Amino acid sequence: MKTLYKVSHSAYEALDKVADATGEAGEVLCKKGEQLRKTEQRLVKNCRSYISDNPLTSVSIAMLTGYLMSRLLNCDR
């Protein structure tokens, strides 16, 4: 009977450790997700600012990128 108690007690302790580790991992992922969201917002803001300040350059870059992508992805050669 004592052996069964020790085994079940050890199993509960292991389960508690796993639950704690899972909770900590969830918190870390939540913080990283928030950091990524803030980084994305900052990059979008910077891009909008650049496009507003340099409209001709932005259109030229977009056209060149489109042309190069169409050449790279063209399978009918």
Rounded mean pLDDT of the chain? 89
pLDDT confidence of residue 76 = 63
CA 52 – CA 44 distance, rounded (Å): 12
pLDDT confidence of residue 15 = 83
Is residue 9 exposed (0-12), middle (13-18) or buried (19+ Cβ within 10 Å)? Answer: exposed
pTM of whole model > 0.75? no
What is the average per-residue pLDDT within 69-76?
83
CA 9 – CA 15 distance, rounded (Å): 10
What is the average per-residue pLDDT within 4-22?
80
Grade residue 48 by pLDDT with cuts at 50, 70 and 90.
very high
What is the average per-residue pLDDT within 15-33?
88
